[in-house]
Homo-oligomer: A and B are copies of this chain.
Amino acid sequence: MARPRSFDPDDVLEIARQVFWQKGFQATSLDEITAASGIAKPSLYAAFGDKHALFLRVLDRYHDGILGWAERVLAQPGPAREAIRQWLTGFIPYCSGEKGQRGCLSINSATDGSLDQAALRKSIERYNRRLEELLRTRLRADREQFKKGFDPDITAHTVMVVHAGLMALAHQTPDSKQVKAVIEQVMGLLA
């Protein structure tokens, strides 16, 4: 028995993600988000809390999206090697060329010194832990396909490092061929 909300919170989170992703947390003003979304500040504050809380919601959403996708790709039948190759390859559009310029929202946030609040660190940490767990689990399961002495745990972490590196260097708009070549070379470690 009250006036209903005039917008879908998910739509606003989607728009906020675009703005935050483009300019970063600090440099994004709420006025820009109200301009992009058409939602006035009091409504944003009522729905999401302050700027940090809004950003946390956006980041969690971003994490969930990537984790869901990773789960699907890494659960594929066939050799672990191919699943992981496909996982890495899937990032190419996001870490090369024009679209890749903004890099990864999570890594951009992790490297932003002004964002070391506990909640954000926790969200990022959890995301990385889960991603690495997916890789590790898959590599462990297919252990016999690899050479003797193959260490799935270290390899999972190495793949995380490569992924982070590709996303960090994405801001220089590298060529997609170059990214592909690096992935192919790294696949040499999965043997």
Chain B contacts for A151, CB-based, 8 A: 185
Among A9-17, A19-27, A64-72, A138-146, the one that faces the other chain is A19-27
Task: Note all chain B residues with C-beta closer than 8 A to A167.
Answer: 168
In the complex, the answer to whether A110 meets B171 with C-beta atoms within 8 Å is yes
Of B21, B128, B168, B188, which one neighbours A107 at CB under 8 angstroms? B168
Residues of B within 8 A of A155 (CB): 185
* A151, A161, A186: most-surrounded residue (chain B CB, <10 A): A161
Q: A157 contacts the other chain (Cβ, under 8 Å)?
A: yes
Quick one: which of A60-97 are within 8 Å of B by CB?
A: none
- How far does the alpha carbon of A186 sit from the alpha carbon of B110 in the complex, in Å? 24
In the assembly, how many copies of this chain are there?
2
Question: A160 CA to B103 CA in the complex, in Å?
Answer: 16
- On chain B, the residues within 8 Å of A111 by CB distance are 103, 107-108, 111-112, 168, 171
Complex CA–CA separation, A27 to B128 (angstroms): 25
Query: A150-191: contact bitstring with B at CB < 8 Å (1 yes, 0 no)?
Result: 010011011011111111110110000010011001101100
Q: Which of B112, B163, B166 contacts A108 (CB 8 A)?
A: B112
A147 CB to closest chain B CB (Å) equals: 11
